[in-house]
Amino acid sequence: MTGHGQIPLLQAARARILAGLPVDPVAVPAVSSVLASVIQRRSRQEEIALRQAGLRERNRRLREADAVLLPLPSLDARARRLLELIAHYEATAWRRHRGLISCPEELDSKPEHHLWHALKSFHRIPRSINAIAMILKNEDPQ
């Protein structure tokens, strides 16, 4: 990042840019540094937004997988069953399906259809009953 001593230099460069004039070559490193910092900050914000969108989609798909299963009396029982289903899918068919661009037709109308999308949406699935239960209650796990 630029130091306070470069602020007048940057102000002069800004004035020249706004006037349609070329930037003084002496100011180019400072201007370049500021632009790189702004671009990097924006990229980080976009990365965070994409990560959050992936988590929301993963959680939505896990809730959908739970919804197509037969109801169980407690949230913990539903979370435990979903974790078992995830582990089974990952140990079997997911090994063949992970490289596919679209969900295989063989999974249509099965809970694994939603698991495929959940696993594609975000690289990691929580492994604790409490975290899955929070997702099923539509809360974000900490």
Q: Which tens digit of pLDDT belongs to each residue from 100-137?
A: 999 999 999 999 999 999 999 998 999 999 999 999 99
Please, what is the Cα angle at 133 between 119 and 98, to 5 degrees? 10
pTM for the model: 0.70
* Alpha-carbon distance values, 109 to 17, 58, 83, 98 (Å): 58, 18, 19, 19
Place of tokens 């796990």: 141
Q: Measured between alpha carbons, how far is 57 from 36 in angstroms, rounded to an integer?
A: 31
Measured over the CA atoms of residue 125, residue 131, residue 137 and residue 139, the dihedral's sign is: negative
Cα separation of 3 and 30, whole Å? 9
- Both tokens assigned to 88: 């089974």
For residues 78 and 84, give the distance between their C-alpha atoms in angstroms, rounded to a whole number. 10
Domain boundaries, the chain: 4-46, 54-136
The 10s digit of each residue's pLDDT in 12-55 is 888 888 888 887 777 788 888 888 887 777 777 888 888 999 99
